[in-house]
Amino acid sequence: MLPPIDSSVLKNNPQFANLYKSLTELVLNDDGSTKLHPQNPVAQERKAVTDELNKHRLAATTENLLIHALSTTSPDPIPISTESEFNQNLSLSSGLTIPPSLKQPLTDLLLLLPSFLSLDFSSPETPPLDSDSLSLILTSPPLSLLPTLLPYLGPLLSTTLHSQASHLVHLAAHLSHPSMTTGTTSSSNLTTPPLTNLTIPHLPTTISHLTTFTLPTLYSSVLHARLDTAKSVRDLLAQYSTAYTLLIKTLEAKHGTIARSLEFKASETALLAQKAEKESELAVLGVRREVYTPEVKRALVEYKKWLVAEQERIRGEIERGEEVLGGYGVRINTEGGGEGGGDAEKEKVMREIARVYGEMEREVDVVRKDLERLGFGRGE
């Protein structure tokens, strides 16, 4: 897998960014190999070598699985309790009763076979054992009893392989759904697909897909997340650096020579302002002392008393006027500021009398003026 590049590196180096894009999209595959057309002879030769390598890898894996299964097989297996028909058959086969006389030879066979199968007999020039030793081992128990022990060894080995396959199925399910393993849910509570006779044949394909696509994708996502985190940390440190720079500048501006001079001038101005305020207060007190002499204060006290007495007298005159108007049927509404609440008929009569009286006064004035014009009344 090609390693990811930090976005800041690509941004600061445009030519390298173009080269990296060309390599990753046009020249190289995700695994770092060169992109070739399937009909290219080099690609066909590479495919043939890969297929041959996969055959040898499959044979070696099969041998290793068999050796590992033999080394982990016990003569007293625990039957697997599952619901599938395939697992039921395995449980029935693993439930075969081993005769007591064959139990110890079977245990010895399980201990000997892994070491014997691990020997490399592919090189005829330097064999791991000579012919006499090999003949002695094959003709001596427990290998000599292999035809007798094989009906009991097969079910035990099948149970062990089935248990390992079940573990691989569960592991593949967990790797295929990584989000299910996050949070507070434990892996033992995860639901995995049931192990059946149709699941195990697809197990190599599933594991190959996991190792070829899923795990590299997850690793690539982790690398990209790590780069994003590093970029975020770098930006955060840059912001911290900017904040510290501004803080230092602020402190220097606050505690520098010019700042101290300005601070002293401001303090002096504040003291002068306080002095002027106190002087103005003293001037006001002096003016008050000169204006409000004891005689003026006594006069103001007497004037206040006279105002209070006049206020009481005016209030009494108003009350007497209201009583007189009440006698004429007029009531003054002191709350609303107008007339109201009196005898309407009596008020109407009094208003008519006032109107007639006004007309009579006007007629008297006319007669007086006529008499004065005629010369009467001058001797009076």
Query: What average pLDDT values come out for the chain (380 residues) when binned by 10 residues?
Result: 73 86 79 74 83 86 84 65 42 61 82 80 71 80 82 83 77 63 44 51 68 73 82 88 87 72 86 92 86 85 90 87 73 55 69 83 84 64
Q: Which amino acid is at 24?
A: T
Range list of β-strands (E), the chain: 332-333, 338-339
**What per-residue confidence (pLDDT) applies to 200?**
59
**What per-residue confidence (pLDDT) applies to 199?**
59
What residues contact 127, with CB distance under 8 A and at least 6 apart? 121, 134
**What per-residue confidence (pLDDT) applies to 239?**
92
**What per-residue confidence (pLDDT) applies to 183?**
45
Going by C-alpha positions, the residue among 338, 340, 312, 314 that lies closest to residue 326 is 340
Q: What is the CA radius of gyration of the chain?
A: 60
- Identify the H or E element spanning 291: helix 257-291
**What per-residue confidence (pLDDT) applies to 83?**
39
Cα 66 to the center of its chain, rounded Å: 51
| Pure H helices in the chain | 7-12, 14-22, 41-72, 85-94, 100-117, 131-139, 146-176, 203-209, 215-255, 257-291, 294-327, 344-374
**What per-residue confidence (pLDDT) applies to 76?**
66
Q: Is the pTM of this model over 0.85?
A: no
Q: Which residues of 360-374 are buried (b: 16+ CB within 10 A; e: fewer)?
A: eeeeeeeeeeeeeee
DSSP state for residue 212 in the 8-state scheme: I
**What per-residue confidence (pLDDT) applies to 271?**
92
User: Any idea where the domains of the chain sit in the sequence?
Assistant: 36-179+188-198, 292-342, 343-373
The SS3 call for residue 53 is: helix
Beta bridge partners of 28: 34
**What per-residue confidence (pLDDT) applies to 269?**
92
